[in-house]
Amino acid sequence: MTHDPLLTTTTPSTIFDKIWDAHVVKHQTDYPDAVFIDRHYIHEVTSPQAFDGLRKRGIGVFNVNRTTATADHNVPTKDQHLPIKEALSRFQVEKLRQNCTEFGIELYDLLHPFQGIVHVIGPELGLTQPGMTMVCGDSHTSTHGAFGSVAFGIGTSEVEQVLATQCILQSKPKRMKIQVDGQLGKGVTAKDIILYVISQISASGATGYFVEYCGEAIRSLSMEGRMTVCNMSIEMGARGGLIAPDNVTFEYMRGRKFAPQGQDFDKKVAEWQQLTTDEGAVFDQELYYHADNIKPWITYGTNPGMGIGVDSHVPNLAEIPEKELASYTKSLTYMGLEAGQTLLGKPIDYVFIGSCTNARIEDLREVAAFVKGKQKADGVEVWIVPGSNQVARQAEAEGLDKIFEAAGFELRGPGCSACLGMNEDKVPAGKYCISTSNRNFEGRQGPGARTFLASPLMAAAAAVTGKITDVRELV
């Protein structure tokens, strides 16, 4: 079956509608659509039960060539050549190996040149392409939407569904446009854009929607920056997020291992260039922001919507709606903060630069350029965790590892690491960590750990000063 992302209609359509409608295998009123999936990414956490389901049914994987497997959530980032110490982590990675062998799926296992965080390796290998539908049993699958694709996270039962049929039953989300106009100021990055937007609409403000990001500030971003923005769409409740492809997209993809090559690539570019939202297309909701209002952003609470400009104050109780006061005060108690206080100068204990949000080579380059010739502050532990083996090797080739070493930063192996307390990299209880990851829930980085979400630049500034710092004063 051929799926044409350039499906034409007489009614102006959004890019999301064009891709979704071109992949609908069966539509029936009042029922979810049956949607064909171009690429299915799997990892060790949400796939074991799905494979067990296939065994019980006595069936195989419908299309192993559209299925990409890697180990990322449970893997250690030190001594990856040794057996995994944590029993549950070791068990899950072993099950992934067994399942991939049994069902004939190629696995990018530990030490494989292509191993890494699933949402990092897909784009860097050229597996993620414009116009595609993509799913993974992981919330941050929306990362791939940066290429002009429809990508979203699914549950374990849906993983089984896609493994068995290469399709998924899914109700079509509503459409939201988020436009960010203007040019970003000094020290303001893609991470600040998305943290700002989430703080404006809340951690549930886009629930039920698929978001298209547009505007001058979005267009100015590199592909790495666009992936950061789309990655955190789920953190405001959205089903996913995407950005229309352009020359930035095409040049990033050119020459990638699994991308089309030569004349085939040029033909695909001509097709991808038509993946735009038509003039007059209708969104269910439209939101407009200006880059002038976006500062280096940082969270203070226990969901990504609880964020402020770094030079602002934690909201006073009078600024919080009465129905939210109980959860607000509970959050501040967990974080050891007080309403009305400023975060500037707050001492920190750990810095984590990594995750599927900010562990690409551009992120590491940005941090290295900032810390070159500087030293980390006493008493601060800094972990730099590349998103993949390819990122790690590139960092070494460019000498970034030497810069990190000289600064006292620890460069580790690839993996999800301290983004979540599911492996050996945990922040101790009561300790403060500035993290470039995507979630600051209670215990997310380890039981009792306290997380401030921020950009790689903000994290690097905290690493060398030992406290929350306005990076604009140092760049």
**What is the tens place of the pLDDT at every residue in 329-340?**
999 999 999 999
In this predicted structure, the answer to whether residue 4 has a pLDDT above a threshold of 80 is no
Beta strands in 164-296 (DSSP E): 167-170, 174-181, 209-214, 240-242, 285-290
Rounded CA gap, 308 and 305, in Å? Answer: 9
CB 356 within 8 A of CB 388: no
Question: Does the pLDDT at position 6 exceed 70?
Answer: no
Q: Cβ of 361: how many Cβ atoms within 10 Å?
A: 22
pLDDT digits (tens, 9 = 90+) for 139-181: 999 999 999 999 999 999 999 999 999 999 999 999 999 999 9
3 state SS for 392-442: HHHHHHCCHHHHHHHHCCEECCCCCHHHCCCCCCCCCCCCEEEECCCCCCC
The pLDDT of residue 10: 72
Which pLDDT belongs to residue 421? 87
Average pLDDT rounded to a whole number, residues 228-232: 98
Closest CA to 291 of 218, 396, 184, 410: 184
Inform me whether the pLDDT recorded for 401 exceeds 90: yes
Residue 118 pLDDT exceeds 90:
yes
Predicted confidence (pLDDT) at residue 1 exceeds the cutoff of 80: no
